[in-house]
A and B are shown apart, each in its own frame.
Chain A
Amino acid sequence: NAGVTQTPKFRVLKTGQSMTLLCAQDMNHEYMYWYRQDPGMGLRLIHYSVGEGTTAKGEVPDGYNVSRLKKQNFLLGLESAAPSQTSVYFCASSSPGLAGEQYFGPGTRLTVT
């Protein structure tokens, strides 16, 4: 099993450009999450999904959109990137009832100039 995979691993964007981060999991998990991790800030939840076709806002959702068209995939979009979105982005997944035991991907390092 690959677990949770993320594409791409690194990306540099110019201010105003758009991009989509892809997360895939092969553990048949219902729940999926997108976090960002910044120095001195810890992990912060951006958006999450409790099942195919559903999404919900987390702690820091502004400037991001998400879609969960297939159970195994969770996409994070940046429509107009800003330097404040420079961060490391992590996707995670979990089973219902065990939302605290999350499996994380390797991360995407995004720099917005």
Chain B
Amino acid sequence: EDQVTQSPEALRLQEGESSSLNCSYTVSGLRGLFWYRQDPGKGPEFLFTLYSAGEEKEKERLKATLTKKESFLHITAPKPEDSATYLCAVQAGGANSKLTFGKGITLSVRP
């Protein structure tokens, strides 16, 4: 059974204080790993896809990396508007296989 564990459950940062969010996974035959952002009261919004170990993707202050066992979402010099819940999901098997989501990490950035 595919499993995704995200840590920590919640993270509070001061504006400008860089940090990383962790997503550990157990899956048979990783097809892809995906990061989503979810603002309170809204649906998740797709951020990144990572397909193979060593791959990195960047978007503004966010950088996602992937190893064979985990993924990190690095946040550099965060701003209050980066406050959200960040979800990690894995896809195993074929290109149209279902996603297994982690429980999410709630990030709060204080001004």
Contact = CB atoms under 8 A, between A and B. Distances in A.
Q: Do A and B bind each other?
A: yes
Interface of A: 4, 31, 40-45, 48, 50, 58-59, 90, 92, 96-107
A100 B89 contact: yes
B91 interface: yes
Contacts of A96: 95-96
Given A45-B98, A45-B99, A106-B41, 17 more contacts: A40-B103, A42-B87, A42-B102, A42-B104, A58-B98, A92-B43, A96-B95, A96-B96, A97-B96, A99-B91, A99-B95, A99-B96, A100-B31, A100-B91, A102-B99, A104-B43, A106-B43
Interface of B: 31-32, 34, 41-46, 49, 87, 89, 91, 95-99, 101-104
A58 B49 CA distance: 22
Nearest to B89: A100
A40 B100 CA distance: 15
Q: Which of A43, A44, A58 has the most CB of B within 10 A?
A: A43
